[in-house]
Chain A
Amino acid sequence: MTLNSKAPSGPLAEKWNNHKFNLKLVNPANKRKYDIIIVGTGLAGASAAASLAELGYNVKTFCVQDSPRRAHSIAAQGGINAAKNYRNDGDSVYRLFYDTLKGGDYRAREANVYRLAQVSVNIIDQCVAQGVPFAREYGGLLDNRSFGGAQVSRTFYAKGQTGQQLLLGAYSAMNRQIATGKIQSYTRHEMLDVVMVDGKARGIIARDLVTGQIERHSAHAVVLCTGGYGNVFYLTTYARGSNVTAIWRAHKKGAYFGNPCFTQIHPTCIPVSGDHQSKLTLMSESLRNDGRIWVPLKKGDNRKPEDIPEAERDYYLERIYPSFGNLVPRDIASRKAKEMCDQGRGVGASGLAVYLDFSDAINRLGESTVASRYGNLFDMYKQITGENPYKTPMRIYPAVHYTMGGLWVDYNLMTTIPGLYACGEANFSDHGANRLGASALMQGLADGYFVLPYTIGDYLAGEERKEVSIDSPEFVAAEKNVKDQLQKLLSINGNKTVHEFQRELGLIMWNHCGMARNENGLKEGIEKIKALRAEFWKNIKVPGVGEELNQNLERAGRVADFLELGELMMQDALQRNESCGGHFREEYQTPEGEALRDDDNYAYVAAWEYKGENQPSEMHKEALEYEFIKRSQRSYK
């Protein structure tokens, strides 16, 4: 199959408008004859569900938590970008477009990114109208802050709880539609397969997580908004339940997986404290606006930070990147932190941390201003580490935070399976090889509020307006497969727990496919994963039965999928013989240690096709053409 991005031609600024005009429409009276399933109710899913229901479609939503409001989006801290130029500081749609493409190291589609920047302004309007309490200035208008990778202030925020407030806004819009009956919300439900009829996505198989019942649900189109798959690394900033299952099972049914190895490692997280650790906590990137990052000049200097004089500190980001300083993009900040620690200049008991110091900001602005900007983050830090960041610098270290890869989608957000869409972090679009801060919330809401509601109609207009039966042989077969797999997991009764397997896999991923990758390491990693996967299917121990609330069974299925995904990620990292964005191959770097891109050979999206159990996947390429901007070596110096 050749990949068709469906990106419209014509002038950049006109593409989306022209495209919208050319899309087929569903007559308002006919919309209620179409059913749409939306899996996932984070920013992408909740906004899509509400908007589609408002248009008149019948929507069913699914999420694994007990409420749509608890999706992982709730945890986003720092903010959301929009090209409003309310600061009068030179921002524009074009600049946001340019920053996003450059930040992604020129591995995203021009047309998609431009559209994202265009609709960003509508998102803020929508959220404010819903009653989202963004931070304001004394004059009553909206406040902004700046974020990594940008030299303008375009980030809107609600203290350190922006994701929460945006999600509650989208959730409230969903609730309004649930009340009218246009949305049926299924909570504590996990999708375990996509059902295909005549080559099209026609429904899902889901498990009721309370009763364990397996259910069939049909629709004319299925939308996956199930978030990122970073938990393949085990220790991450993701919520514990974040997983790849929905998109992986869709991948196995024919949806190509785009750039699986593009992972974002966030530079400012609280370091690991011991083996018991179950997750890592992010300290929002916004802290880099006022915090200064440093390590001691000398190796192994284990004096207390307060006792190290200015002259013996190395503010390495300010030194290496004078124009962006502490605000360089995440991939660069993370890599440099690792470099400092590799040089033996890391701090804290493990030596795997650098300082993020607020003493200058506190002197300049006063403690109360710093508290009003970051109070909840400082409290969180103190609660977790037992240390007071107003008095002593925070210790931070990079951690896995976001996955730029995901299901390949065209300009309409449709995967390679007709009728199957992917939105938000679950798709691969828009961020290229590295995502800029505050752009995930923007993308999730852009997809859900302003893109999918237009593009899905184009597909539905061509579909028959009759209910899809759940009694077809395809539904029966998909249900049986799901039941068989659950039964298999329960019956092995080996010696190792799901938890043990997940940790082991995470360690392999981190060591072989983490912040720095190389050919030998990746090849070894692939062998290790294969061995671990084989062991999993012989030695997993899942207690209990299927017909009950069984958290271990849920998790076992997810780990089984991670064990397959991990191998594909390594395969993808192995084929990409260049460094770009979050993908750093040690063999490909400049003499100064910066990522060395190879545009002649690797300016493409790697879209992987599943070929069957234990068969090598096949890579397809979507060439990335740059019509409007010139690619340059990224420089933040």
Chain B
Amino acid sequence: MSGNMNLTLKVWRQKSQNAQGAFETYEAKNISPDMSFLEMMDVVNEDLIKAGKEPIAFDHDCREGICGMCSMYINGRAHGPLKGVTTCQLHMRSFSSGETITIEPWRATAFPVLRDLVVDRTAFERIQQAGGYVSVNTGSVPDANAIPISKENADEAFLSAACIGCGACVAACKNSSAMLFVSAKVSQYALLPQGNVERKERVLKMVSQMDQEGFGNCSNTEACEAECPKEIKVTNIARMNREFLRAKLFS
């Protein structure tokens, strides 16, 4: 079909966590601009299998920008060139025929590569387990409308809660800091009355776990906000810093 593109891909291949990795070059031929980036990868993988080679492993699931599974570092940018868009929602119309596209996994000490483009993000799990919740048991709660919350706060809490836990903020940061991710969760609860009781403890525990996982420090370059597919704001980081100071001062 006319209008279809031919591309060269440079893809990071690594057999397992402890194996040595390297770039390999592949041709992606006859790619429709209406394909999503992952559909283009599907095409390449089908060709690899047919040629008796190992397909490229990559994470994905919902393919509509909400599960946070997909995680490619495309041409030096987490989730590729578009703002506010995950890899799975990126379409090939954002590239031009003849282009060479470099595809890497997230790179961070706290996110070891498991295979090719698949990384281990369980560090995020452990941070959430450290305090990313309100301690209420099933059944022991008041009527939902017994807790009025201003629309403004509710809406802002929602914006922080929209984080999909993809890890692009870490990948985009030169220090591999997880501040944006952690602060989004801390902010959601800090903005809501439900989160108030455990407010101090939560921020201390989550930050301490973050440090233990080997994420770097925040040096305010704001690359995280620029690359976050859900446009989580760095103001969350400022709020978390305030929460943290307050908790330290009064603990």
Query: Taking beta carbons and an 8 Å cutoff, which residues of A are in contact with B?
Result: 47, 50-51, 54, 65-67, 69-70, 72, 74-75, 84, 86, 122, 124-131, 133-142, 158-159, 161, 164-165, 168, 171-173, 175-176, 178-179, 185, 187, 210, 239-241, 273-274, 276-279, 281, 379-380, 383-384, 386, 449-450, 453, 497, 499, 541, 543-544, 548-549, 551-552
The 8 Å CB contact of B151, one of A84, A126, A138, A171, is: A138
| Residue pair A72, B139 in contact (C-beta under 8 Å) | no
The 8 Å CB contact of B39, one of A140, A179, A276, is: A276
Known contacts being A70-B61, A276-B42, A548-B16, is A136 close to B137, with CB within 8 Å? Answer: no
Residues of A with C-beta under 8 A to B42: 276, 278, 499
Provide the B124-154 mask, 1 if CB < 8 A to any CB of A, else 0: 1100111011111111011111011111001
The 8 Å CB contact of A125, one of B52, B55, B84, B141, is: B141
Known contacts being A129-B142, A549-B118, is A173 close to B158, with CB within 8 Å? Answer: no
Provide the B43-59 mask, 1 if CB < 8 A to any CB of A, else 0: 10010011011110101
| Residue pair B137, A552 in contact (C-beta under 8 Å) | no
Residues of B with C-beta under 8 A to A86: 145
| Residue pair B144, A142 in contact (C-beta under 8 Å) | yes
Known contacts being A131-B134, A240-B63, A497-B46, is A273 close to B34, with CB within 8 Å? Answer: yes
Minimum CB–CB distance for A348 against chain B, Å: 13
Residues of B with C-beta under 8 A to A552: 49, 55
16 further contact pairs, Cβ within 8 A, besides A75-B64, A276-B43, A543-B49: A51-B138, A70-B68, A139-B148, A140-B150, A172-B133, A172-B134, A175-B125, A240-B63, A241-B61, A276-B35, A278-B36, A278-B42, A278-B63, A380-B65, A386-B34, A549-B115
Minimum CB–CB distance for B56 against chain A, Å: 9
| Residue pair A129, B93 in contact (C-beta under 8 Å) | no
Tell me which of B174-182, B189-197, B241-249 binds A.
B189-197
The 8 Å CB contact of A549, one of B35, B114, B192, is: B114
Provide the B209-231 mask, 1 if CB < 8 A to any CB of A, else 0: 00000000000000000000000
| Residue pair A133, B34 in contact (C-beta under 8 Å) | no
The main secondary structure of chain B at its interface with chain A is loop
A272 to B50, CA, bound (A): 26
20 CB contacts below 8 A, A to B, read A51-B138, A65-B67, A66-B120, A67-B122, A69-B68, A72-B61, A72-B62, A75-B62, A125-B141, A127-B144, A129-B144, A130-B194, A142-B145, A158-B161, A172-B128, A175-B129, A210-B120, A274-B34, A276-B39, A543-B53
| Residue pair B91, A129 in contact (C-beta under 8 Å) | no
The 8 Å CB contact of A175, one of B91, B133, B151, B155, is: B133
Give the residues from 70 to 106 in chain B that come closer than 8 angstroms, CB to CB, to chain A: 84-85, 89, 91, 93
Please give me the residue from chain A that is nearest to B56 by CB atom: A551
The 8 Å CB contact of A126, one of B15, B138, B192, is: B138
The 8 Å CB contact of A130, one of B49, B124, B134, is: B134
Provide the B8-23 mask, 1 if CB < 8 A to any CB of A, else 0: 0000000110000000
Minimum CB–CB distance for B188 against chain A, Å: 7
A175 to B93, CA, bound (A): 40
Residues of B with C-beta under 8 A to A126: 136, 138-139, 141
| Residue pair B142, A125 in contact (C-beta under 8 Å) | yes
Known contacts being A69-B68, A551-B57, is A497 close to B136, with CB within 8 Å? Answer: no
| Residue pair A54, B138 in contact (C-beta under 8 Å) | yes
Q: Does any Cβ of A come within 8 Å of B7's Cβ?
A: no
Residues of A with C-beta under 8 A to B239: none
Residues of B with C-beta under 8 A to A65: 61, 67, 69
A185 to B125, CA, bound (A): 10
Residues of A with C-beta under 8 A to B59: 66
Q: Does any Cβ of A come within 8 Å of B157's Cβ?
A: yes
Residues of A with C-beta under 8 A to B6: none
Please give me the residue from chain A that is nearest to B90 by CB atom: A383
Please give me the residue from chain B that is nearest to A164 by CB atom: B66
User: Which 10 A-B residue pairings sit nearest by Cβ, starting from the closest?
Assistant: A140-B148, A129-B141, A172-B133, A133-B158, A128-B144, A51-B138, A133-B157, A549-B115, A136-B154, A239-B61
| Residue pair A449, B125 in contact (C-beta under 8 Å) | no
| Residue pair A450, B192 in contact (C-beta under 8 Å) | no
| Residue pair B161, A66 in contact (C-beta under 8 Å) | no
Residues of A with C-beta under 8 A to B135: 176
Give the A-B pair count, Cβ closer than 8 A.
208
Q: Does any Cβ of A come within 8 Å of B5's Cβ?
A: no
Known contacts being A72-B61, A278-B42, A380-B89, is A136 close to B128, with CB within 8 Å? Answer: no
| Residue pair A543, B55 in contact (C-beta under 8 Å) | yes
Query: Taking beta carbons and an 8 Å cutoff, which residues of B are in contact with A?
Result: 15-16, 32, 34-36, 38-39, 42-43, 46, 49-50, 52-55, 57, 59-69, 84-85, 89, 91, 93, 114-115, 118, 120-122, 124-125, 128-130, 132-139, 141-145, 147-151, 154-155, 157-158, 161-162, 164-165, 188-189, 192, 194-195
Minimum CB–CB distance for A239 against chain B, Å: 4
Residues of A with C-beta under 8 A to B141: 125-126, 128-129
A67 to B154, CA, bound (A): 26
Residues of B with C-beta under 8 A to A187: 122, 125
Residues of B with C-beta under 8 A to A136: 149-151, 154-155
A176 to B118, CA, bound (A): 27
Residues of A with C-beta under 8 A to B118: 549
Please give me the residue from chain B that is nearest to A448 by CB atom: B138
Residues of A with C-beta under 8 A to B16: 548-549
| Residue pair A168, B161 in contact (C-beta under 8 Å) | yes
Minimum CB–CB distance for B203 against chain A, Å: 15
| Residue pair A137, B138 in contact (C-beta under 8 Å) | no
Residues of B with C-beta under 8 A to A548: 15-16, 115
Minimum CB–CB distance for B190 against chain A, Å: 10
The 8 Å CB contact of B165, one of A67, A165, A551, is: A67
Residues of A with C-beta under 8 A to B147: 128-129
Minimum CB–CB distance for A522 against chain B, Å: 30
| Residue pair B46, A499 in contact (C-beta under 8 Å) | yes
Known contacts being A69-B165, A210-B114, is A450 close to B55, with CB within 8 Å? Answer: no
Minimum CB–CB distance for B89 against chain A, Å: 5
Known contacts being A75-B67, A497-B49, A548-B16, is A67 close to B133, with CB within 8 Å? Answer: no
Minimum CB–CB distance for B17 against chain A, Å: 8
Please give me the residue from chain A that is nearest to B86 by CB atom: A383
The 8 Å CB contact of B61, one of A133, A240, A273, is: A240
| Residue pair A84, B144 in contact (C-beta under 8 Å) | yes
The 8 Å CB contact of A383, one of B69, B89, B114, B154, is: B89
Residues of A with C-beta under 8 A to B32: 274, 276
Please give me the residue from chain B that is nearest to A140 by CB atom: B148
| Residue pair A137, B125 in contact (C-beta under 8 Å) | no
| Residue pair B144, A125 in contact (C-beta under 8 Å) | yes
Minimum CB–CB distance for A41 against chain B, Å: 12
A386 to B89, CA, bound (A): 12
| Residue pair B144, A383 in contact (C-beta under 8 Å) | no
Minimum CB–CB distance for A120 against chain B, Å: 12
A274 to B141, CA, bound (A): 49
| Residue pair B192, A133 in contact (C-beta under 8 Å) | yes
Please give me the residue from chain B that is nearest to A178 by CB atom: B129
| Residue pair A175, B188 in contact (C-beta under 8 Å) | no
| Residue pair B38, A278 in contact (C-beta under 8 Å) | yes
Please give me the residue from chain B that is nearest to A64 by CB atom: B61
Please give me the residue from chain A that is nearest to B156 by CB atom: A133
Residues of A with C-beta under 8 A to B46: 497, 499
Residues of A with C-beta under 8 A to B62: 70, 72, 74-75, 239-240
Minimum CB–CB distance for A250 against chain B, Å: 22
